[in-house]
Structure 1
């Protein structure tokens, strides 16, 4: 079972609704292209059908994901433990560099935030999950092992 925050669940739900709202637009594009005649050589028709297929596949993927997730409750998590939604200040023990990381269920794709998003299923996320302030975590990365000290939860 995958855990996500309530905010992430709301984002996924909104995404499904937005994709469902595109259905009439795509159907209209298909009908418009079909009216143009010969479907074998009708690029607009084939493009609209491809869009429809991708849209429906994404709706199914997100609905299946929503059906199989559990929303993490803040009430059950100790104040000093890293869990989904936590923003953590870490110090890289190799170069003493300090950065903020946010543990998320799914990356938003936004690079504007002050913190670096880390998914719970990534090597960094797995190392951080349920770790506590003051602990040192070891992360096995493709370029070797890194060690971080957990300085504080924000």
Structure 2
């Protein structure tokens, strides 16, 4: 069975753009750098050549990784989901820490889209796993690096 990668439409677009950039800009730039380094002669002691070959390997690996993820992508559009108030992939959820009364808002996204600084958390993160399937008003206990924290889901936004 093929592993599916859940993605938001924005995440799918970002990977598609990265793939195009790597194929049309990065790959030709690296090939040119390799050709230039080759022209300098002895390849055994040519640091520029070895650096360019290493870049090429990384770039080609990333291209293959992106192509695999896009081919197995399951793009989930919130507008097509039943809005029953449950926390599901793609929603933005507001939670309140019951000890500190601190409120945070997170959007639950795919692994490649996760960016904690932008409050986008992976579907596979402990916080998201603890929230999936719950509703506004539910209280959840989530294992954090500082121990178990209790939260109340204050809002589930399908935005």
TM-score (norm 2): 0.87
* Offset, 1:83: 2.1
User: Is the partner of 2:106 in helix, strand or coil?
Assistant: strand
Identify the residue that residue 70 of structure 1 maps to in structure 2: 74
* 2:151 corresponds to 1:148: yes
Identify the residue that residue 135 of structure 2 maps to in structure 1: 132
| 1:27-42 matches, cutoff 5 A | 27-42=31-46
Judge conservation of contact 2:140–2:152 (CA < 8 Å) in 1.
yes
Per-residue deviation, residues 22-78 of structure 1 (Å, max 9, x unmatched): 111110100000001000000000000000000001111111111222111322232
CA distance in 1, matches of 2:135, 2:63: 37
* 2:33 corresponds to 1:25: no
Structure 2 unpaired stretches of 5+: none
User: Is the partner of 2:87 in helix, strand or coil?
Assistant: coil
Residue 34 to residue 110, structure 1, CA distance change in 2 (3 Å):
farther
Pairwise CA RMSD: 1.6
For residue 57 of structure 1, the aligned residue among 43, 46, 61 is 61
CA distance in 1, matches of 2:92, 2:127: 13
Q: Identify the range of structure 1 (101-110 vs 4-13) with the bigger mean alpha-carbon deviation.
A: 101-110
* Offset, 1:95: 1.2
TM-score (norm 1): 0.89
* Offset, 1:145: 1.3
| 1:86-125 matches, cutoff 5 A | 86-105=91-110, 106-109=112-115, 111=117, 113=118, 116-125=119-128
CA distance in 2, matches of 1:124, 1:82: 12
Per-residue deviation, residues 69-98 of structure 1 (Å, max 9, x unmatched): 211132223241222222211101121111
* Offset, 1:130: 2.5
CA distance in 1, matches of 2:90, 2:96: 19
Judge conservation of contact 2:114–2:122 (CA < 8 Å) in 1.
no
